[in-house]
Structure 1
Amino acid sequence: MPDSGEVQAVKGVNQGDSQVRVYAVAPRENADPDEIVDGFLEAMTSDDPGFATARKYLTKQAARTWKPEESITVLTTAPDRDQADRNADPEDQGRAYPLSGRKIATVDARHAYQPISPAKYLTSIHVVQVPTANGKGKEWRIDGLPPGLVLGEADFLRNYRSVNKYYFASGEDWVVADPVYIRQRQDPVTRMDPVTQTVKALLEGPTNWLKPAVDSRFPSGTELQKGVTTLTTDDQSTLKVPLNRKADRVGAEACRRMAAQLLFTLGDLTSVRVEQVELQDSDDRALCRLGKGQAAEFAAVRNTDREEHPYFVDEHHKLMMLVVGGKEANAPVEVPGPLGKGTTPLQSVAVDRGETRAAGVGQTGRELFVSSITAEEDASPALLSSKGAKPVDRLSAPSWDGRGDLWVADRDPAAPQLWMVPGGTGDPVKVRTPWLEDDARIESLRVSADGVRIALVVTRGGDTTLQIGRVQRQTTGDEPVVSVLDLQPAAPRMESVTAVSWAGPSRLVVVGKEAGGVQQIRYLQTDGSTSASLVLPGLNGVTSVAAPHVDNVPLVADSGDDGVVRLAPGTNWQPVVKTGTSPVYPG
């Protein structure tokens, strides 16, 4: 038990037990309208094939037109059903039952989770009397209902799970994660098992949000062969995937990339171990075969076996490296170059993915520098300068993407701007940010390793929120055009966010507060969903956090009075350096 520290209120979260099964029950004879509505709401949470039992609560016309697969509305809890208002419309021979709740997200037909700040949800279900099957009486049935499924969060998480599909960054040779939700068990509509659902979702193409920035190597129209509902591995952990005629003429190199997309995608499924995939044409002949080791060349972060080191700024404003992987943290190591020698005093830093260069914002926050951290060299002139009057209104901490490009935000209220430095040495490019206007400004940023997504802590109207933007690049003439578009909330339930770091292909570590709560450090999915939500041990006064790309290396954070601390898997926070700030992992 802790023997010191402040008291913190912790809110329990029912994640839903995926082992629990709900079986739909058909309406009983002469059921009253209240039972019909309640029975249907319960039947929506089941795995009933084709939702056949749920459809028994509907009129014939409503049963034909209801499409549960087209969307899911996610509420904080199961929808509240109020009593019908029989006096609402004297001409109406039926009854309308109001449904209410707090809406937190929707899932579209492409399985993409779209969170919103919790908002009031109000709709209704309408029931009427229709002739019974034998024509000798009448029974109550639903003829008006909301589209798709309406589920409480616990039922949603019990029935669905998050997986990452993978597509290639446009014009590049590495893959990008695209999180979606599939059924935990057999899909009631398609009758597919989770592996087959996942492959089908990959073949359908990227989600609408990510589509403008990625490409699929599968030819347009590629699907599984008709009737395939189960895919299983053989005794060598090889998954054979039979495709339709659209894939019959693919070349060997294109097939390798198609197989790589499948391997990365199936790697997220804990229910199956796939070591290699074999793609088959419409006549079940092998098109190509690819193993996990061969697919690794298409990863956004390669050489994952190489140890990642965290870095920080010491009390003398110099760049230092930490060795935190052992049971005890070793003394910081001075890095070569002007940033490590202190000739360029620093406020914040970022180290490139190869750990060969570092970018630093000077102590006053006004200038951005880049230099080697593997060899001694003279200090280079500043790449970029801010005209902000105060240090907090100048440059943010920088961030490197996997392409070697460097990103930084100028927080000058008079001219807020996002910048990208090609290759870390080229002429800075103004990033197009149509949403950065009025009183909005970027407080901090972190770019994903794939260079396609950027996590932004944005202040607007007094609120500080976490947004994920899509990075799009194009070249017109000699000038590259870079845009960050379609911001979407990544932590809609947090009313204020302090810091963020990428923690893998589609997961973030976020420091922030929920309404009325205390500061928390937690893992979140980039789509804002709670499936990977995990609250980490409490830590006071956190101003920055950094996560490695792999799970077996400690998190590091700046905890104010406690300096730089680390969190190794299965332990609590431990002090590393008493006087230090701005800890970062490569990126």
Structure 2
Amino acid sequence: MRGSSSNITRAGAAVLALVLLLLASCAQIPRSGPVGKSTDASAGNPNAPVFFPAAPREGAGPESVIEDFYSAGSGYEDDYAVARQYLTQASSVTWKPDQRALVFRSARVVPTGVENVFDYELDLAYSVDADGVATRLPEGTKENIPATLAQVDGQWRIAAIPDGTAIPEETFKVIYGAYPIYFYDPTFTYAVPDLRWFIKKKTVKAMTSALLGGPAAYLKGAVVSAFPSGIKLARESVPVVSGAAQVDLTAKDLVDASNEDRLRMQTQLALTFRSQPDVINVELRANQDLVRVEDNGTVRRPVRNMSVPAHQIAVSHNELVRYENNRLSPLPDIAPVAALSPRAPAESPVSQSAAFLNPGRDTLYSVVPGQPARVLTTRAAVSRPSFDRYDWTWTAGPGGDGATEVLAYRPVGVAQGSSVPAVTLTPTWLAGWTVKEFRMSREGARALVISEQNGKTRVQVTGIIRTADGTPRDLTAPMTLPTSRDPDQGAWVDDTTVAVMKGSAAESVTPELLSLASAQPQQLAPWPGLTALSAGNGPEEIFGQSAEGVFQRLGNGWSPQLKGLQDPSFPG
């Protein structure tokens, strides 16, 4: 039996076998002459790496055949033609490599005790399903893939193997890429990215199939699609002809749709194909016949990567202030709150409402123009407030029985002394966890959640399920982002990136950028005594606060800004 070290060597050899086929010059999209079609295999990045695996070796034993089969599984060209040579004729026909990809840190072949049956034992880093949804897995996660072998003309071949491939993590990072496919928020106003992992050279068809399949689990119920449930590709390819991606759909679903729905379908595909250099526009087809889509101005293009206002709310001399261009000014039309000693303020991105905590962080207040501040909730501890674009104020804290609750309030338009609309959510995945941070995304379909249990911290993104009028109804089971530290606060930087850190007045603090599209956190420059973090539009608009004042990220360091203010935060 070969040990882990030999298999790691094989994995390294597999990586060395990856060859970049670079075009001599950038291909120009033809504007005249014969029509040229790209097949599904080439509809993607033409410069993507290609892996050339080795064919079966004469006289190789069962263990070597299993190892070499999975090494060959990185060679996706010609429908995994080389990998299929390691299978019996029957299994080569039935094996479906695109069903999932298991990405491993190390692997070894283990006998099962059953004649000619072995396990390929993996230490998994990721699991990627047929629609490109990647699940990151902690170190030590094991999975055994059973393989049954038989002799064919004196050579060992695999007679039974589960669908899918298994590839080393190093190889995965080279031949796969993370790409956003886009859905809509429930009002069709905003485009919401759903990051998927695809082989770089086979993206166009893979993206289309994933889009038709619907959003990832953590977004189901929080976003919508213009494509009706059950709609499918009419043919197993999405050719790109003279820059036009020809998406051929089942005729009835497409023809029965309104022009408005078809325009939204076309827009959704166009947003999804933004990353594809050979795609200029999208054609909808029904059984290969072009379907006319008219843009008569009735459908607005959704906002992608929504920005926030350039100013921040902050506390100065116990009053709420506006911080912009390194200057302070009064918060417009807001009553004085100095008697309440506000901390951790938030400002609505759609109105002039604000919310804040008291110094003990056990009471949440809101203040709307023309009214004094009012108490929204008091409990043992609450997370700093965050507004969504529906003007709901969010926080989290323990309920009466100690269970973690996520709370949302909407005081805008409520007369002084009247009850404020409120929603209390108790997601099971937060049971036993203390929420340190709950921050709404700019389009209102997602939230960043940082929670802690017995010293262990996790950073997650959950979807927000709402009723038709935008009232929060539930949170989806979240996706987890990798972090190398134990952050206790965070903020959205853009629609696919968050900044997090663990604040400390006494130590040097290293914030991190976590991307929905990356496996590795990006560490920012350390800075002593950072206790608060805020983020505006993009990674250059990240601010930190220490006892020495406010600092803005500048390249690989931090630039001093104003002194004498606390807890700056961009609207949201």
TM-score, reference length from structure 1: 0.78
Q: Is the Cα contact below 8 Å between 1:546 and 1:584 reproduced in 2?
A: yes
Q: Does 1:347 align with 2:343?
A: yes
Q: Is the Cα contact below 8 Å between 1:176 and 1:450 reproduced in 2?
A: yes
Q: In the aligned structure 1, how far is the partner of 2:70 from the partner of 2:268?
A: 37
- Equivalent residues in 2 for 1:357-368, closer than 5 Å: 357-368=353-364
| Alignment match, 2:9 | none
Q: Percent identity?
A: 21
Which letter maps to 1:264?
Answer: L
- Equivalent residues in 2 for 1:3-82, closer than 5 Å: 20-75=49-104, 77=105, 79-81=106-108
> What displacement does 1:410 show?
2.9
| Alignment match, 2:322 | 321
Match of 1:243 among 242, 246, 249: 249
| Alignment match, 1:582 | 567
Q: Does 1:380 align with 2:380?
A: no
- Equivalent residues in 2 for 1:3-402, closer than 5 Å: 20-75=49-104, 77=105, 79-81=106-108, 89=113, 92-94=114-116, 96=118, 98-101=120-123, 103-123=124-144, 126=147, 128-132=149-153, 138-145=154-161, 147-170=163-186, 173-186=189-202, 194-226=203-235, 228-232=237-241, 234=243, 241-245=247-251, 246-267=253-274, 269=275, 271-272=277-278, 274=280, 277-282=282-287, 284-288=289-293, 297-299=301-303, 304=307, 308-314=310-316, 316-324=317-325, 330-338=326-334, 342=338, 344-354=340-350, 356-371=352-367, 377-388=369-380, 393=381, 395-402=382-389
SS of the residue 1:142 aligns to: strand
> Alignment length, in residue pairs?
518
| Alignment match, 2:522 | 534
- Equivalent residues in 2 for 1:413-428, closer than 5 Å: 415=402, 416-422=404-410, 424=412, 427-428=420-421
Deviations 1:140-194 (A, max 9, x none): 12335454222222222212211222223346543322221122013xxxxxxx2
> What displacement does 1:496 show?
1.8
Which letter maps to 2:235?
Answer: K
Q: Is the Cα contact below 8 Å between 1:511 and 1:521 reproduced in 2?
A: yes
- The alpha-carbon distance between structure 1 residues 458 and 199, as it changes in their structure 2 partners (threshold 3 A), is same
Q: Is the Cα contact below 8 Å between 1:278 and 1:290 reproduced in 2?
A: no
- The alpha-carbon distance between structure 1 residues 340 and 533, as it changes in their structure 2 partners (threshold 3 A), is farther
Q: In the aligned structure 1, how far is the partner of 2:219 from the partner of 2:152?
A: 48
- The alpha-carbon distance between structure 1 residues 280 and 483, as it changes in their structure 2 partners (threshold 3 A), is same
Which letter maps to 2:344?
Answer: S
Q: Is the Cα contact below 8 Å between 1:401 and 1:451 reproduced in 2?
A: yes
> What displacement does 1:125 show?
5.4
What is the alpha-carbon root mean square deviation over aligned residues?
Answer: 3.5
> Which runs of 5 or more residues in structure 2 are unaligned?
1-14, 21-46, 415-419
> What displacement does 1:108 show?
1.8
Q: Is the Cα contact below 8 Å between 1:27 and 1:39 reproduced in 2?
A: yes
SS of the residue 1:36 aligns to: helix
> What displacement does 1:398 show?
0.6
| Alignment match, 1:484 | 475
| Alignment match, 2:513 | 523
> What displacement does 1:270 show?
5.3
- The alpha-carbon distance between structure 1 residues 537 and 71, as it changes in their structure 2 partners (threshold 3 A), is same
Which letter maps to 1:251?
Answer: S
- The alpha-carbon distance between structure 1 residues 339 and 562, as it changes in their structure 2 partners (threshold 3 A), is farther
Q: Is the Cα contact below 8 Å between 1:279 and 1:289 reproduced in 2?
A: no
Which letter maps to 1:106?
Answer: S
| Alignment match, 1:453 | 446
Q: In the aligned structure 1, how far is the partner of 2:241 from the partner of 2:288?
A: 19
- The alpha-carbon distance between structure 1 residues 273 and 55, as it changes in their structure 2 partners (threshold 3 A), is closer
SS of the residue 1:497 aligns to: coil
| Alignment match, 1:191 | none
Q: Is the Cα contact below 8 Å between 2:323 and 2:568 reproduced in 1?
A: no
Deviations 1:520-543 (A, max 9, x none): 4232234xx625743322334443
Q: Is the Cα contact below 8 Å between 2:345 and 2:356 reproduced in 1?
A: yes
Q: Is the Cα contact below 8 Å between 2:235 and 2:248 reproduced in 1?
A: no
